[in-house]
Structure 1
Amino acid sequence: MYDVVVVGGGPSGATAAEDLARSGAKVALIDRAGRIKPCGGAIPPRLIADFDIPDEMLVAKITTARMISPTGRHVDIPIENGFVGMVDREDFDEFLRERAAGAGAERMTGTYKRVERDEAGTHVVYRDKASGAERRLATKLVIGADGARSNVAKDEVPGGDRIPYVIAYHEIIEAPGKVGSYDPDRCDVIYDGRISPDFYGWVFPHGKSASVGMGSMVRDVDLKKATADLRMASGLVDCPTIRREGAPIPLKPLDRWDNGRDVVLAGDAAGVVAPSSGEGIYYAMVGGRVAATAAMACLSTGRVKDLQLARRLFMREHKTVFRVLASMQNAYYKSDERRERFVSLCHDIDVQRLTFEAYMNKKLVRARPMAHLRIGLKNLAHLTRLVPAAYT
């Protein structure tokens, strides 16, 4: 009998499993081997500090972000007094799983099939990869951390089958030195309807490799052609391709994360990827941590309503940020004219400072009321077309 079975071994599930094991719970972690999520791989300093990520896991340290408009105008935003760490998900996720195992979680490799309940209690059924046989794990609670379009969410949580998402695709390539517009110390974010009609494209250095990709909610967009066009524009067309990956990325937290009985969701399964930016690693790991907190509370008190703590704790800290980012995406990602205005707005020093303070620290900064006022007025001027799109 396990206290908790965690389904999914990405950053969210691995974090939940580690936290639970360190709290004394008997934990099983089920993960499908060989699955790598398409991801830019950026992690902010707060994640590195909060989750004790060693420096050797960082394949690059980014000191500048470049925003590129549909007309090719760009603004370089320096990351003052710090850096954004870059990780390769293939190695990073395995590091987190191994750390969870080192804390006492038992790793299983296989594919989730279903949750069964009978007079003996709750069981998670999965297909073991090595044998191909179905196995049943008796457990008190289940954490579903099996990603966007989560099967645990669909099976167990009301509304878990209705979540908006972007389809993301990227190619990991062998990175050159400085060539074309590529800079190994800079992340490029491309706001151009020819690359993505409703999201963005990216070129993110990973040390010896780089992630080049894009995302879109528009189903008939040719993701591979858009990525090829992005590689061409960045001077990366001749770089050897290491691997190609695609997957959905959710863009709205679910209204409910638990089934009121024995299941709670975490990470992408709960929809906790930031709107506008698509940032997910930090929020996934926080989601795993609050799911573990809720599970431990439920195990301690016997009250199933304590599973609601996961969503409550997460939204208490991050709800406002998600709301602001969703508003920004809805305002500026609708057309190339709006995207041009967004990049123009990024020229503003107040926007740059507050954006990166919020990104690095993962909270809205309220210490500069006049800066917020100036940003609000400039935002209004762009949205009402009181200033031209190229205004800086």
Structure 2
Amino acid sequence: MSESPVVTEPSEYFDVVVVGGGPSGATAATDLARAGRHVLLLDKPGRIKPCGGAIPPRLIRDFAIPDDLIVARVRSARMISPKDKRVDMPIGEGFVGMVDREHFDPWLRNRAALAGADVREAAYDRIVRDEDGATVVHYTTGKGVDLERHAVRTRLVIGADGATSPVGRSEIPGHDRMKSVFAYHEIVKRPADGSGDYEATRCDVYYQGKHSPDFYSWVFPHGETISVGTGSAHKGFSLRSSIRALREASGLDAGETVRREGAPIPLKPLKRWDNGRDVLLAGDAAGVVAPASGEGIYYAMLGGRLSAEAADVFLRTGDVRSLAQARRRFMKLHGRVFMILGMMQWFWYRNDSLRERFVSICRDKDVQQLTWDSYMNKELVRKKPVAHVKIFFKDLAHLFRWVSP
């Protein structure tokens, strides 16, 4: 954001200006354009979010993701404990798709453009209200001597501009206190000789304090490349050193590094997503990344869709209370899951002794089946009450150390 006031006069009008062209913002822009709204999507070029890239079948189905964007099909996960014990969790039928954000996000933005949204490479600057009370969005294009300032009028701004959302920080009280972990990964070329401790159809998840003291680390296949990443909220913890060690441990240290990316990842939805007037948040800006797992793409796209639906009602009726529908509907669908995952992260990720027991629990076939059923379909499984009871007592046994890990 610039430090001096922007005096550019608005030259255009849009029903909605979406700030941020990731999965959430691009989905919101697409849905609104398809609904006949005049939409401007602003996306700052040159940034790729660090992301394992997993997308469940529910996302592929609900958001019509084509096969050519799926760079790998994962059919199992391997959980690795602090003592290096390994627990395989086969999916069974179906697969988890893997995408590379370098290609996935531009495809989503292009879909928004094809739907009728005006997509521009631009950096958001600020929101002001003119003398008539109209909402004006200021942004810039180009850089250096080619920098140009622009301003447009709009009825609504959807901030889908990440965990540190400038839109959210300026418009939603308490946004700057949103808790996050910082994620970092390196995209590595797959070794030509087939070396390295990984498989093209398996996600490896490391629950080891040496690689992350409060989260987890991963080795995820991306077809011709591999995402090797970690996350932590501890500011003194060296994520780069952790990844260096993880690459050595997994035999990927000699592979060519394609790119490196880092960004904060929120792990708790904000209590409010709108300012009661002309701003609504979506995706990471609203805090919709699942605790414990760090899964974000599905929840971002769903949040974008729900925000678009709330925005459409607002534009049709003028009732600002309709903006709150986005969060209310999201929490009704997934609030319970987020609460459970938050409790899991708070308890099991605290030290290596607890992580060891957590990985041990994952050996249980009931745990594996319910985990995959819930993840793949994005719904809590309520059809197997006996299995839930069994898992509850098994969790108690591990919690009170009645069984060895």
TM tier, smaller = over 0.9
The one of 116, 123, 128 equivalent to 2:141 is 128
1:65–1:187 Cα contact (<8 Å) kept: yes
- For residue 99 of structure 1, what is the amino acid of its counterpart? R
The offset of 1:132, in angstroms, is 1.2
SS in 1 for 2:41: strand
The offset of 1:31, in angstroms, is 0.2
Structure 1, unmatched stretches of 5+, are none
Specify the alignment match of 1:141 in structure 2: 156
The offset of 1:129, in angstroms, is 2.4
* Correspondence 1:58 to 2:70: yes
The one of 78, 92, 98 equivalent to 1:86 is 98
The offset of 1:302, in angstroms, is 0.6
The one of 293, 296, 301 equivalent to 1:285 is 301
The offset of 1:323, in angstroms, is 0.7
Map 1:157-176 → 2, pairs under 5 A: 157-176=172-191
Displaced runs of 4+ in structure 1, greater than 2 A? 176-180
The 2-side partners of 1:253 and 1:111 are apart by 25
The offset of 1:40, in angstroms, is 0.2
Map 1:92-131 → 2, pairs under 5 A: 92-120=104-132, 121-129=134-142, 131=146
The offset of 1:180, in angstroms, is 3.1
Q: CA RMSD in A?
A: 0.8
- For residue 123 of structure 1, what is the amino acid of its counterpart? V
The 2-side partners of 1:46 and 1:116 are apart by 39
The 2-side partners of 1:89 and 1:129 are apart by 23
Specify the alignment match of 1:9 in structure 2: 21
Structure 2, unmatched stretches of 5+, are 1-12
Task: State the identity as a percent.
Answer: 60
* Correspondence 1:184 to 2:200: yes
SS in 2 for 1:25: coil
1:201–1:213 Cα contact (<8 Å) kept: yes
SS in 2 for 1:140: strand
The one of 358, 368, 390 equivalent to 2:374 is 358
The 1-side partners of 2:30 and 2:165 are apart by 21
The 1-side partners of 2:197 and 2:126 are apart by 48
Specify the alignment match of 1:222 in structure 2: 238
The 2-side partners of 1:258 and 1:385 are apart by 45
The one of 33, 48, 52 equivalent to 1:21 is 33
* Correspondence 1:331 to 2:347: yes
The offset of 1:256, in angstroms, is 0.2
- For residue 61 of structure 2, what is the amino acid of its counterpart? A
The 2-side partners of 1:335 and 1:119 are apart by 56
* Correspondence 1:71 to 2:83: yes
Aligned residue pairs, count: 389
The one of 325, 334, 350 equivalent to 1:318 is 334
* Correspondence 1:275 to 2:291: yes
Specify the alignment match of 2:259 in structure 1: 243
* Correspondence 1:40 to 2:47: no
Specify the alignment match of 1:207 in structure 2: 223
SS in 2 for 1:161: helix
SS in 2 for 1:135: strand
1:159–1:256 Cα contact (<8 Å) kept: no
Specify the alignment match of 2:3 in structure 1: none
The 2-side partners of 1:383 and 1:158 are apart by 38
- For residue 126 of structure 1, what is the amino acid of its counterpart? Y
Using the TM superposition, name which of 194-203 and 128-137 deviates more.
128-137
- For residue 125 of structure 1, what is the amino acid of its counterpart? H
Normalization by structure 2: what TM-score? 0.95
- For residue 166 of structure 1, what is the amino acid of its counterpart? V
The 2-side partners of 1:176 and 1:293 are apart by 45
* Correspondence 1:377 to 2:393: yes
The 2-side partners of 1:159 and 1:309 are apart by 20
